[in-house]
Structure 1
Amino acid sequence: MNFNVDNAFALGTYEGSSTRTANKFIVLHETTNIGAKANASYFKNNWSTTQTYVQYVIGDGGKIYQVGADGYQAWGAGSYANANSPVQIELARTTDKATFKKDYATFVNFARSKAREFGIPTTLDAYGNGIKTHKWISDNIWGSHTDPVNSYLEPFWGITHEQLAKDILSGISEPVAPKKTFTNINNVVTVLNGNVKAYATYKKDGSANGTTNIGPGTGWISAGIEMINGKPHYLIGGNIYIPQSITTFNDRVAINSDIPVHAVDHTGKVVNIDLVGGSAWKFGSMSNIPGAGWCYQIATDMFLPIEYAQGSGFKG
């Protein structure tokens, strides 16, 4: 089976570990947040400060992004597992059923392909060498992680450990239909009931739309959020933006996902706290965080990427 691997975020010369591995394990992870490209970019740009990266990140509809080099230690599962795993693979989250089917099939088949390449058995979490979940590494060697099955595959898509083991052993010829689905993402924003006849709207360049005003209390479907004049604005039409400050989200942000997402700190490092889909958070300032883009500050050192906010147009 042939795979198209995107090398845009591959570590360069003198980046990452130069230590070769033994060929015992292929380690399977999940990213805990949404989007493979964003995760690969984060690994590429932060490997030296976080001491964390893997060889591959899979997601975004079955795409494969390479970060580390095959056969050299990645930093994803503790020193012993890192030293004995020529390949470690992250599966990025999604809320979209069709995207997940492609991601999961690629995740399974690519892991099988890499195992055969390095002479590793295509058994999951069995005795001896083989393909291992990060949870197996934690249970048997070191750590406290439960990915990818307990943290993502089973609770969000109904893929049990037994199903993953079966798929790892046999491969997937047709994408697997997940047993769970999610409700529609909500991108409706509502204008405040202010003591005005109408509110002004703006263009992307920051100038006012003199002929397009909107009434108090009206609801709009937003296709995205842009930073205009240093403030977040919702896109409600062709080059028509309304400030978040005139909506019911003027002082808070709602998470636009049925899957829990993770915030980042001021360096762009993922904060390992589940933020429940649909929950609302008070926010202060906006910050442009490396690797995460514009974010809402929802705690002292916790920032929510703008793409996870209601009104972002986000669909998983």
Structure 2
Amino acid sequence: MTYAIEKRLMSGLPNYALEAIKYVIAHESGNPNNCGPNALENEITNMNRNKAKAFTSHWVGGGGRIVQIAPVNRVQYGCGPKGNPLSYAQVELARTADKEQFKKDYAAYIWLLRKLAKDAGIPVILDGTGNGIKSHRWITHNLGGTTHVDPYSYLQSMGISEEQFKLDIKNGLDKPTEKDDDKMQFTNETTKAAVRDHIKQAVDKKLIDKSWLDKFDNGTMTTGDYEGLKLIIAQRS
């Protein structure tokens, strides 16, 4: 399943280049007083009002809606001075008291975090070592400069454990596990070597993260991974 992304970019935002593309950040609003049917719009309005101090690139809520309010690949003010310059995108999840609505919001949240990581050319792994999708809590515990520990407590309150969240980020919600048939297959060593050389050259030029070469070498890269990488490499060359 794919989702439409509503683009409603806020005006007057700061425009700073990233130091590096390492992370996509997973947040939640942390606002237990805003869980009603208008929670998403309330959060966006509030962020627009306070954008000089805090803003992220995307919001998710309202029954699976996705709203982009700031550009990706530019500094956003969402996870502190140490994490912000390294974060391609930062995604906030609006709260709800309706568990059926939460299921729709969560599905869109997972989809968006995975999509943004692929767009950024970083691993689709939550809170692992190296680059990838990071919770705000991971930034607090590993980089500092912030004290927030979202989104785990809210997800837990809605029945999503930390382990489940990590699995859903890894596998997505459309297919429970990655099939061996999806992994790249080669009819000869010459073709395999050519593909590896293409990836290695992109790593050497710092167009993509080295973890992609590691994924190729350990045999877990899928055809879809490589097709996405080719687009990213072409865009950044």
**TM-score bin (small chain):** 0.5 to 0.7
| Distance in structure 2 (CA, Å) of the matches to 1:19 and 1:74 | 8
Q: 1:118: Cα distance to partner?
A: 0.6
- From the two aligned structures, give the one with the greater strand fraction: 1
The match for 2:17 is 20
The match for 2:162 is 161
| Distance in structure 2 (CA, Å) of the matches to 1:146 and 1:113 | 23
Contact kept? 2:2, 2:111, Cα under 8 Å:
no
Q: 1:41: Cα distance to partner?
A: 1.6
* 2:51 match: secondary structure: helix
**Of 117, 120, 123, which residue of structure 2 is paired with 1:121?**
123
Amino acid at match of 1:65: V
* 1:86 match: secondary structure: strand
Contact kept? 1:11, 1:44, Cα under 8 Å:
yes
Deviations 1:179-228 (A, max 9, x none): xxxxxxxxxxxxxxxxxxxxxxxxxxxxxxxxxxxxxxxxxxxxxxxxxx
| Distance in structure 2 (CA, Å) of the matches to 1:45 and 1:67 | 12
Q: 1:158: Cα distance to partner?
A: 2.0
The match for 2:148 is 145
* 1:125 match: secondary structure: coil
The match for 2:114 is 112
Amino acid at match of 1:11: M
Q: How does 1:7-86 map to 2 (within 5 A)?
A: 7-8=7-8, 10-12=9-11, 15-21=12-18, 22-33=20-31, 34=35, 35-48=39-52, 51-86=53-88
The match for 1:191 is none
Deviations 1:236-281 (A, max 9, x none): xxxxxxxxxxxxxxxxxxxxxxxxxxxxxxxxxxxxxxxxxxxxxx
* 1:121 match: secondary structure: coil
Amino acid at match of 1:173: D
Deviations 1:102-147 (A, max 9, x none): 0001001110000000101011100000000000110111122110
* 1:93 match: secondary structure: coil
| Distance in structure 2 (CA, Å) of the matches to 1:41 and 1:66 | 13
Amino acid at match of 1:60: G
| Distance in structure 2 (CA, Å) of the matches to 1:132 and 1:37 | 25
Q: How does 1:1-316 map to 2 (within 5 A)?
A: 2-8=2-8, 10-12=9-11, 15-21=12-18, 22-33=20-31, 34=35, 35-48=39-52, 51-142=53-144, 143-150=146-153, 152-154=154-156, 156-173=157-174
Contact kept? 1:36, 1:65, Cα under 8 Å:
no
Q: Which runs of 4+ in 1 moved over 4 A?
A: none
* 2:74 match: secondary structure: coil
Q: 1:44: Cα distance to partner?
A: 1.6
Identity %: 35
Q: 1:46: Cα distance to partner?
A: 2.1
Q: 1:95: Cα distance to partner?
A: 0.6
| Distance in structure 1 (CA, Å) of the matches to 2:46 and 2:69 | 10
Contact kept? 1:55, 1:70, Cα under 8 Å:
yes
Amino acid at match of 2:173: I
| Distance in structure 1 (CA, Å) of the matches to 2:87 and 2:62 | 25
Say which one has the larger Rg: 1
Query: Any unmatched runs of 5+ in structure 1?
Result: 175-316
RMSD, matched Cα: 1.3
Query: Any unmatched runs of 5+ in structure 2?
Result: 176-237
| Distance in structure 1 (CA, Å) of the matches to 2:121 and 2:14 | 22
- From the two aligned structures, give the one with the greater helix fraction: 2
Q: 1:3: Cα distance to partner?
A: 2.5
| Distance in structure 2 (CA, Å) of the matches to 1:140 and 1:80 | 10
Q: 1:7: Cα distance to partner?
A: 2.5
* 1:23 match: secondary structure: coil
Amino acid at match of 1:3: Y
* 1:3 match: secondary structure: coil
